[in-house]
Chain A
Amino acid sequence: MNDEQKSWRLGGHEFSSRLILGTGKFSDAATMIKAIEASGTELVTVALRRFNREKPGDDLCAPLAKLKNIRLMPNTSGAMNAKEAVRAAQLGRELSGSPFVKVEIHPNPHHLMPDAIETYLAAKELAADGFIVLPYIPADPVLAKKLEDAGCAAVMPLGSAIGSGGGLSTADMIRLIIRDSNIPVIVDAGLRAPSEAARAMEMGCAAVLVNSAIAAAGDPVAMARAFALGVETGYAARQAGLMPKSDMAVTTSPLTSFLR
């Protein structure tokens, strides 16, 4: 397999890494930067917050600016509805100069499940405004097609609840999404182990987005590398073609004896 086949396109931009990293929950910026480097990612998500005079060290712009070949994808976390998400996206684009936006709207602060309706409304408006829109969504095949029709560059169904480490509990739905999607499908949220990232890639996902599983690992930098390997392994396995499970039915009385 050559590099050209390995790369993939997202909103007209080419990427070779199929691992997207979140930058939240790291103990410090230096660890985060090392993890990003170890992961080989080319796309990282960031969040917008009020500037804090007391903690100027929270500002990620300076450390991220030092990384080469990294594109930023601001998210809309904190937005409670479509209107707020559109505003957040505009601020994110102003600040990052990047057309990528991860639309995430989760009004319930406990389980953080995405609001499908508000996410759809925001995604549609932002896509029309020229953003490269990646909505974080429930693993819903109908919603996924509606978002594709609305002009999204990819859909990002959840594997399980954000930060839960529940893995690919939505695997059946994600398979249905992949089956009929014309845009990349990226599993976002819920992964815990690199083997789960590999499984998502084996199922046919274009990429995975990982944050907590790396940031909250014993050694985040080593885990970032492990996820990179997991994604690579799963993608290579997908390209190679998995051996099917054997469930050859054995019939007691012949079904085809009527054929002449």
Chain B
Amino acid sequence: MFLTVNGEKHEHSGDGTVAALLTELGATPDHTALTVNGELVFSRHWKTFKFNDGDTVEILTFVGGG
């Protein structure tokens, strides 16, 4: 399925779970927060959550900031 991840087109070849996408991108789940179509998806819901074709996904992490 095709997703928009952090503003770029991304073809996801896994099973549509959060874990599959993060593995595919090389992101560490513990260090990541997620919004899908503008809505925050809490990590406690990640196990049951599935992406749909065309979803806009933002994957966020902490960087240095004052």
Contacts and interface: CB of A to CB of B under 8 A. Distances in A.
The finding on whether chains A and B are genuine partners in a shared complex, rather than unrelated, reads: yes
Interface of A: 22-26, 32, 45-51, 53, 56, 58-62, 64, 72, 74-75, 77, 87, 90-92, 94-96, 162, 189, 209, 211-212
A49 B61 contact: yes
Contact of A95 (B32, B65, B66): B32
B28 A91 contact: no
A162 B61 contact: no
5 contacts: A46-B62, A47-B62, A48-B65, A51-B60, A77-B66
Nearest to A162: B66
Interface string B48-66: 0000000000111111111
B33 A32 contact: no
A129 B23 CA distance: 33
B61 A23 contact: no
Given A48-B33, A58-B64, 15 more contacts: A22-B64, A23-B66, A24-B65, A46-B62, A46-B64, A46-B65, A47-B62, A49-B60, A51-B60, A56-B27, A58-B61, A61-B61, A162-B66, A189-B66, A211-B66
Nearest to B63: A49
Contacts of B31: 59, 61-62, 95
B35 A91 contact: yes
Contact of A94 (B28, B43, B64): B43
B64 A47 contact: yes
A24 B30 CA distance: 21
B60 A24 contact: no
Nearest to A47: B65
B61 to A, nearest CB: 5
B62 A51 contact: no
A49 B63 CA distance: 6
A-side interface mostly: mixed
B-side interface mostly: mixed
A174 B40 CA distance: 37
B61 A51 contact: yes
A62 B28 contact: yes
B40 A87 contact: yes
A75 B65 contact: yes
Interface string B1-43: 0000011000000000000000001111011110100001011
Nearest to B40: A90
Nearest to B30: A61
Nearest to A78: B65
Contacts of A32: 64
Query: Looking at B42, B59, B62, which has the most chain A CB atoms within 10 Å of its CB?
Result: B62
A61 B64 contact: no
A96 B58 CA distance: 17
B12 to A, nearest CB: 14
A64 B66 contact: no
B59 to A, nearest CB: 4
Contacts of B65: 22-24, 45-48, 75, 77
B63 A60 contact: yes
Contacts of A23: 64-66
